[in-house]
Structure 1
Amino acid sequence: MIVNERSGGGRAGRQLQKVVRHLHDHLPTAELHIVRSESFQDAERSCRAAANACRDGDAVVVMGGDGMAHLGLNACADTEATLGIIPAGTGNDFARGIGLPKSVEQCVGVIAAGRTRRVDLSKVSNATYAERYVGAVVSSGYDARVNRATNDIHLRFGPLSYGYIALRELRDFSPLHYRLTIDGEERKLEAMLVAVCNTGMFGGGMKISPEADPTDGLLDVTIVHPTSRATLLRLLPMMYTGGFTKNPAVEQFRARTVEIAGDDLFVMGDGEELGSVPATVSAEADALRIFVP
């Protein structure tokens, strides 16, 4: 189990001993190794080393927020390792998207019960990464700018941080120029955002693609076409319920591959910055085995 003790404003560190006790209680014959990460790079190395060492019956468990989930799924994808997630961060969007409970104790119970399934991942390729997996959402427009700015602030308000920054960034935002290639078909358009989803949540529970299914072998794409700032302001709170999709400015469809290019764009995935465009996002079916309820 690789732990980022600083996740969730220190929540992971405060609950670590309780989690260890629960794991020992539920799995008394299991051999448990705890690795406390000192940095993002350290956690990434630890996740990959653990995944590569896994034999039949072994699991890699990550405890922290979306960043730890992102590192865990990248380490375990296309390996024999089973990934377990104990969400103790601020957003926990990938964990929510695959149906994990919010309670740390309940997530330990999910791992102890041992039920697994294979889920899809999105694979991103660009100049920064030849191959990087994303479990939740690849963002590239207004949403990416909000995500980057949220990562940069020092004062955190939990999931409200994203909403606060979203309002701040809206003041000076204007539509972006996109060049998309969707399953081989080119489209040029202006848009507020283009979100390419495996699961449909980002920003601490915003449902950018409410119908996304991480087991269908497809990407769910949400485009918000140019609209007034006032309209976008009205849509923001509706993203928590998914009701914003009824607005005529919102377009949704499914695809297997989406190539993103355009002016002044970069991509974020699972809340982490993945570099500039052009970037290709492809659906990777059954790429990850994970504990689920």
Structure 2
Amino acid sequence: MRQFTAVVNPAAGGSSGAAGLLPLARLLREAGARLDTVYSRSLEHAQELALRAGAEGHVVLAVGGDGMAGRVGGALSGTGTVFGLVPAGRGNDFARALGLPSDAAGLARVLLEGTPRAVDTIEVESAVHAGVRVLGSVYAGVDAVANRHANASRVLRGAASYYAGGLRAVLGWSPAAYRVTVDGVPYERSGYTVVAANSGFYGFGRNIAPGALVDDGLLDVVIVGHAPKRLFFATMNELRTGAHVNRPQVEILRGKEIRIEADRALPYGADGEVDAQVPVTVRVLPGALDVLA
């Protein structure tokens, strides 16, 4: 029987992260599994807790949103520790990419009976990040600005915070001149954003990279080029289905190492957390994390 340590972000999903664990914890314990619960003070503290539990041979569960999943899963990348996700945030996009059940009973079955699956992770290098590893995507442009607004919202939650943040970001946006280097080949583009995606989903269920696979050893690079803002809003509406990839302003490249530069100090985000600016280099780490899914 597996032994779990749940690393909880108490503030996830509007202070409901710990509460979201309770029904799952009951099911795991009723099945005979041991579950220890620890609470993080920050993402860095969550990484320390995860590494300590992993070193003791525990399956480590990240309880929270994409930021928590990305940092905990990233810290465990390459360690051989088995990782599990308990989605309790606003976006939960990596859990969505893995097809995890949203109900406690279904998730308990995955955690108790599932076979660990090797998935890729992303290594991030910039002036403030040295070897940070995340799971889903790194994005530089209007979406990073929008996510910053959403994270700062004290009134709106869930999808509403992302829509409001996106509207505010786009209305104040002017096209950026990007230099995107994919496996040594440079591309000069002007537009709204560049996304290096391991997972297809970001920003509360938006399917930014429909062809992305978490276990193919590649990153999908989605470039949303310059267009009138009315067309950009139409493109954003198509992100739910992935139909945006048919627009001429959208370009998709694939590679193992991507460097994103711009003509101004643009913010970039990594799994929902925005705390740095381009230039940034990202690399795929194939099969680096064993996850229950």
TM-score by length of 2: 0.93
Matched, 1:35 2:38: yes
CA-atom RMSD in angstroms = 1.5
Aligned twin of 1:7: 12
Cα distance in structure 2, aligned partners of 1:100 and 1:158: 19
Matched, 1:54 2:82: no
Deviation at 1:35, TM superposition (A): 0.5
Cα distance in structure 2, aligned partners of 1:4 and 1:110: 21
Cα distance in structure 2, aligned partners of 1:164 and 1:101: 28
Deviation at 1:33, TM superposition (A): 1.3
How has the CA–CA distance of structure 1 residues 249 and 184 changed in structure 2, closer, same or farther, with 3 Å as cutoff? Answer: same
| SS of alignment partner, residue 34 of structure 1 | strand
* Paired residues of 1:129 and 1:274 also in contact (CA < 8 A): no
* AA in 2 matched with 1:19: L
* AA in 2 matched with 1:175: P
Cα distance in structure 1, aligned partners of 2:19 and 2:121: 31
Aligned twin of 2:239: 239
Deviation at 1:38, TM superposition (A): 3.2
Cα distance in structure 1, aligned partners of 2:277 and 2:105: 39
Percent of aligned pairs with the same amino acid = 34
Deviation at 1:192, TM superposition (A): 0.9
Alignment of 1:67-82 (within 5 A): 67-82=67-82
Q: Which runs of 5+ in 2 are unaligned?
A: 1-5
Aligned twin of 1:225: 225
Deviation at 1:274, TM superposition (A): 4.7
| SS of alignment partner, residue 106 of structure 2 | helix
Aligned twin of 2:3: none
Alignment of 1:243-262 (within 5 A): 243-262=243-262
Q: Deviations over 1:109-157 (max 9, x none)?
A: 2101131110011211111121111211111011111111111111122
Aligned twin of 1:284: 285
Cα distance in structure 2, aligned partners of 1:38 and 1:94: 22
Deviation at 1:203, TM superposition (A): 0.7
How has the CA–CA distance of structure 1 residues 36 and 112 changed in structure 2, closer, same or farther, with 3 Å as cutoff? Answer: same
Structure with more strand by fraction: 2
* AA in 1 matched with 2:56: C
* AA in 2 matched with 1:251: E
Cα distance in structure 2, aligned partners of 1:276 and 1:31: 42
Deviation at 1:20, TM superposition (A): 1.5
Q: Deviations over 1:29-69 (max 9, x none)?
A: x3321102233333232123222x233xx311111111220
Which stretch has the larger CA shift, 86-95 or 151-160?
A: 151-160
Aligned twin of 1:275: 276
Deviation at 1:236, TM superposition (A): 1.3
* AA in 2 matched with 1:46: L
The number of aligned residues is 287
Deviation at 1:11, TM superposition (A): 2.7
| SS of alignment partner, residue 167 of structure 1 | helix
